[in-house]
Amino acid sequence: MSSWNSVGMEVLYQVLGWVAFFAWSFSFYPQVFLNFKRKSVVGLNFDFLVLNLTKHSSYLIYNAALFFSPFIQRQYHETYGDKEMIPVAANDVAFSVHAVALTAFTLFQVFIYERGNQKISKVCISITAIVWTAAIVCLIVAWPKSNWLWLIDVFNSIQVGMTAIKYIPQAIMNFRRKSTIGWSIGNILLDLTGGVLNFGQMGVQSIDQHTLVNFYGNIGKTLLSLEVVFFDILFIIQHYVLYPVKRDENGKAIISERVAPLIRPSDKPEEDTANGYPILPIEAKHVAAA
């Protein structure tokens, strides 16, 4: 069986993994708190949430199955070699459980808070239905011959695919609104930290074992880190460079965005808040925060 060659590298691997776990886990909370503070989910793309739930559910199935099942671990060693370490750590399982719970809770907020005229697109519904139908078909195919490693690799591929597309609706919404209001930048900064540390953790294991098998043996984790870094950098550019929140001479935020299309029309304007600053949902190009 495989083992660590260096105690120091093993400790570093665990430290990086758990720091990445906390960074990724805490990344869900800024958005949850922002929604709660504003009592609104306007500006948060619902397609992103649905695709994200599919992504994390698939990743949980992969991580939990490979980490807890001796049978699947045996299949992994038969495929990649007895000396290769299982590329899933306890922090990966813990993260997946937490991610599914927090994503589901954020979806719950969509039903109880102001959401304007935003809704889940038909494209998103179709993609989700196709993905889960395909997963069920793969389960039926794998069952007779107990090809469980192949099956969880399918779920790993699903989470990679979902990660690749889940950010796109939010990025497009930010572009159309010319604003990132309602989309927490704290989420992105912590997500980026987790992605970099996660990739670093895999690098530590690769150095200790003198092999790159853990990178392509768990290609999903590798691609996940790369995709996260790419899209998080894109969102950081949108928030700080392309669509920054302007401030007056007193340091108060001046919101400049087209808010009307995302707010339900009413006879009397209702006060909303964005990152703690009130917004009047009127057809005005510039709205000053008090």
CA separation, residue 137 to residues 24, 134, 143, 173 (Å): 31, 5, 10, 33
User: What is the predicted pLDDT for the residue at 281?
Assistant: 42
Comparing CA positions, the residue from 244, 226, 166, 195 lying closest to residue 95 is: 195
Instruction: Kindly provide the b/e burial profile for residues 207-236, where b requires at least 16 CB atoms within 10 angstroms of the residue's own CB.
Output: ebbebebbbebbebbbbbbebbbebbebbe
Tokens of 26: 């805490």
Q: What kind and span of H or E run contains 279? A: strand 277-279
Contact 83, 2 (CB under 8 A): yes
User: What is the predicted pLDDT for the residue at 55?
Assistant: 94
Query: What are the average pLDDT values for consecutive 10-residue runs of the chain, which has 290 residues?
Result: 80 90 90 94 94 96 95 91 82 92 96 92 96 97 94 92 91 92 91 88 86 73 82 94 75 51 42 46 39
Contact 107, 45 (CB under 8 A): no
Query: What are the DSSP calls for 142-162, one per residue?
Result: HTTTT-HHHHHHHHHHHHHHH
User: What is the predicted pLDDT for the residue at 169?
Assistant: 93
Q: Which stretches of 210-276 are DSSP H helices?
A: 213-217, 219-237
Residue recorded with tokens 């808070």? 113
